[in-house]
Amino acid sequence: MIDRKTIADEYPQQHHTDDSFLLVLDSASNAKWITELKEQAIPALSRDIHYAHFAIGLKDGRRPYAVVSWKQTERHALEKRWILSQFYRNLRQQWKVTRLNIVLTQVSAQDTAMAEDAYLCSMRPNDEGNDWSQLNILAVKPTETADPFAKIRFDALQGYRKWINENPDELTSIEIGSRLKTFAEANACGFVELGLDELKKEKMNLLLAVGQGSQRSPSRCYFLTHKLTPGKKPIMLLGKGITFDTGGINVKAFESFVNAMKNDMGGAALMSHLFMALVKSGYSEPLVLAIPSCENLVDANSMKPGSLVQSRKGPKVFIEHTDAEGRLILADALSYGEDTYKPSVTLTAATLTTASLRQFTNYFTGVHFAPEKFQASLNESGKQWGERFSCWDDFLPFNSGNKTKFGDLTNMGRLPSHASMGGGSNVAAHFLREFATGPMIHFDIFSSCWNWSGDYPGAPQGATGAPFNSLFETLRKGIS
């Protein structure tokens, strides 16, 4: 783990040993000891990476260090994280050190995120251990003012990543329920599990259909509650929990990233750890967590394309393609959650569409239906923590793309043929909103939660952790 310490604004000699690297994130500091390190830097070792200057040297001829200065300070924090991560990826190979000490001269979420990236991008496969034997974040000012819930937030961020990276035969729908129940019991939260009998009773036929081909990870729906108070409407966090997605009978091609489809429960991982972090941080407002979960397999009992399935809310859905299953399980859970808990707003998160990667790239999270105030708050949090968003309003043609003459809705919504390569994330979001009676904000995290580009900050492979920090910050501020 990262050890966080407050130190004096002076050269941290006690932390800088021969087997450690000292990295100073210099945010326009005038400290004498930093100026001396810059002056003592070795020109042949120093370098520029885009608009970051790395003054690199050897303290007393043997202890390696670097001071990072930004030539363009106004750039977005995600871009700065991206630049610094290029340095991190080669740091250990070049210097053969086992410990890293990062000095923050300015206490900010941006610098905290950049420091944490050094640890996160050195995680081993499936987040099982770290290549650094020790990593210290040394701040010259107390960090509590900028990040009062640092440990809670970072532990939850790591948990979110680890769930996504975990082997799908281990993190099944049953295992997700077991972990959520354990948390609920330890933190005085309500816990409800809807098994097969309860799902049938509630006519949650879409969720049942998707999971009917799996015995290892069958259809389940879990609800956790926090501080439910009569007369106060909760915020509902709804996350897609497809523990593995083969595409079903319409088998997912290799080009559709089937080798990464253990990440298809990313929405469940994100919302579960947001809920847990908020509860642990003393969040005072009522919350509901809703997690529909199963896996989408190729099996004799699998959901068949061409089927017409009646949803819990009522609309009949034409199953045009079995690889558009996430919206189905979310639709039934959304309907049950709204009817049962009457939320003021529902936030949904899902690795909903491969199209979002083409539409938003690996660096942006698609956000649908967010009010302007929420967008402003979210984007401000993103500027602090180094995460980016692409926000979209409702648009009638996207809604029309979900209509079909073979039922009330099709799960393979599309724009007209002349625009068929666009709007996949938008059309899917509008499908979900057909099942909402109250306000809903949808996050399509397929593009950003996995390191598709290979260079996402703080991610060696697999899960990136986006957009956890920004959402935690935004929800802590409150939704107006």
* CA Rg value for the chain: 24
Residue 37 burial by Cβ neighbours in a 10 Å radius (0-12, 13-18, 19+):
buried
CA atoms within 13 A on the CB side of 235: 18
User: Of these residues, 252, 262, 312, 388, which one is catalytic?
Assistant: 252
What is the DSSP secondary structure assignment for residue 233, as one 8-state letter? P
User: Cα-flanking dihedrals φ and ψ of residue 72, to 5°?
Assistant: -125, 100
Asked if 349 contacts 272 with a C-beta cutoff of 8 angstroms, the reply is no
Q: What angle (nearest 5°) sits at the alpha carbon of residue 148, between those of residues 145 and 149?
A: 160
User: Of these residues, 162, 327, 388, 433, which one is catalytic?
Assistant: 327
The reply to whether 92 belongs to the active site is no
Asked if 424 contacts 366 with a C-beta cutoff of 8 angstroms, the reply is no
Q: Which two tokens stand for residue 340?
A: 């049962």
The reply to whether 252 belongs to the active site is yes
Asked if 121 contacts 451 with a C-beta cutoff of 8 angstroms, the reply is no
User: Cα-flanking dihedrals φ and ψ of residue 459, to 5°?
Assistant: -130, 115
Residue 134 burial by Cβ neighbours in a 10 Å radius (0-12, 13-18, 19+):
middle
Q: Which of 235, 149, 227 is nearest to 188 (CA)?
A: 227
Asked if 203 contacts 313 with a C-beta cutoff of 8 angstroms, the reply is no
How far is Cα 438 from Cα 338, in angstroms, rounded to an integer? 8
Catalytic site residues? 252, 327
